Structure 1
């Protein structure tokens, strides 16, 4: 994986506003990648300074090993879960094309 891919994923995650979420697949699509797994790998290795908690599985669930902390961070931003599932319909961020990281304006 090249540095450009790495930085593009980081830029997308950094741009998710408080109170909103994206799925790993959403991040991949916005970053121009084919695989959501790459997003997960990057976040697993390099997310300390990113709002990693705003990235969820496509069904709105969080990673089991991060569950308590991730839901706590989301709750602090006003993102409420039903059990361990966040409503993607309600909280998914849909960036306008011109505000997407890497877009030419």
Structure 2
């Protein structure tokens, strides 16, 4: 359990650092209308790469590897969405129940896209 929590926290921090890197890459490329699409793909690739490394570390193969990768990528996207929603709530200066409600709705909306 401790290892799982550690790996999850590391993935969350790595994802947030990849998000900053993706933002920098988008700024360097001076993307106009394609910025949102680029950021979405960049962040997905960042999560996917971390999951592949974890699967390699665990020496998974076949169906077990595919199942692990699918779950890991889904969890990574959810964590990334939650982090983004927390940032948006902070920008809007929400607190208490309003913040919790906003973050919950934001994460739900992000999962449907």
Q: What TM-score results when the alignment is normalised by the length of structure 2?
A: 0.29
If each structure's helix is expressed as a fraction of its own residues, which one has the higher value? 2
Structure (1 or 2) with the larger CA radius of gyration: 2
Task: Flag the structure with higher strand content.
Answer: 1
